[in-house]
Structure 1
């Protein structure tokens, strides 16, 4: 098995596209406007962003996703995203296992994590 993708539910697909593609700078690999969805290809998986269409989907908006996006320079990425208005829970913090994490929120309250590997 291998990880194919991570699904993120949002309440406004247009605003989500602006955030993920423009603010975060993730390259879109596909779009399905008729379904309210798009994908951004990461090195090893697909980030799939979907419009919440019904009550069940809406329950998944605004949660901690447990998804870590690894970056080469976490301090630089953190500062650049802060300048673009991305809301972080706290600055990058070194973890007991050696890595560095910083949690941020998309415009819908979904929480993702930046990961800086130990040096």
Structure 2
């Protein structure tokens, strides 16, 4: 069994599509903004951005604007952080060296969802 997709829930699908494609540089695999989702090709796992409309349940509303637990692996986190920051990607802080030897930095999408960049130790 392999992980096939991860989902991030948003309130503004067009803004999310532009952010993930144009700011983060992910490959848009399917633009389904009219259907309420977009799919990005990120390697082995697809990233699905899914619309949560104002009329959906409080439980569904709570899925927007939180720490997602998703991480994008990068080879040079400090350089990637600098490039994405220059492109207007907001971060919660500077990259931090971790006790296990890697690096983490948390970025925020237009709906307040937090995702991380991770650089694993060599």
- Fold conserved (TM > 0.5)? yes
- Whether the 8 Å CA contact 2:14–2:33 is kept in 1: the answer is no
- How does the TM-score come out when normalised to structure 1? 0.94
- Displacement of 1:33 after TM fit? 2.9
In 1: Cα distance, 2:8 partner to 2:26 partner: 14
- Displacement of 1:118 after TM fit? 0.9
Q: How many residues align?
A: 119
In the alignment, what sits opposite 1:36?
36
Give structure 1 stretches of 5+ with no counterpart: none
Give every structure 1 segment of 4 or more consecutive aligned residues whose post-TM-superposition deviation is greater than 4 Å. Answer: none
Cα deviations across residues 21-56 of structure 1 (Å, max 9, x unaligned)? 000000011122332111011112010001102234
Which of 95, 98, 106 lines up with 1:95 in the alignment?
98
* Aligned 1:1-119 pairs, distance under 5 A: 1-53=1-53, 54-55=56-57, 56-119=59-122
- Whether the 8 Å CA contact 2:96–2:103 is kept in 1: the answer is yes
C-alpha RMSD of the superposition? 1.1
Give structure 2 stretches of 5+ with no counterpart: none
